[in-house]
Amino acid sequence: MVAHLASLAGLIIPLGNIVGPLVVWLIKKDTMPFVDDQGKEALNFNITVFIAALVSGVLTLVLIGILMLLVVGLGWLILTIIAALKANEGTAYRYPFTLRLIK
């Protein structure tokens, strides 16, 4: 749960949405298999969101990016909260539309 919620650091710290889950995953990956799995999932999702936000930022030049930034931001927040709740229940959560870059 902490790995998912650590991504909310991105609301305060630039790139905190990637650094937060990365720190949790690196600290606990060897001792807790569930944290290893969910930490990688949270990290992959936040990297995917970062890429989508960059693309949306570029597309603001043609105005559609503004809407895309809103959708990406709202989706990020909602899916992060859902993932944290599922992880709190002990259920492995898989984010939709996520690039699995870290395996």
Domain limits, the chain:
2-88
**For residue 44, how many other CB atoms are within 10 A of its CB?**
19
pLDDT tens string 50-64 = 999 999 999 998 888
Question: Percentage helix, strand, coil, to 5, in the chain?
Answer: 75, 0, 25
Q: Which pLDDT does position 40 carry in this prediction? A: 92
pTM here? 0.88
**CB of 53 closer than 8 Å to CB of 11:** no
Q: Which pLDDT does position 81 carry in this prediction? A: 93
The pLDDT of 76-83, averaged and rounded, is 93
**CB of 20 closer than 8 Å to CB of 10:** yes
- How many alpha carbons lie under 13 Å from residue 76 in its C-beta half-sphere? 27
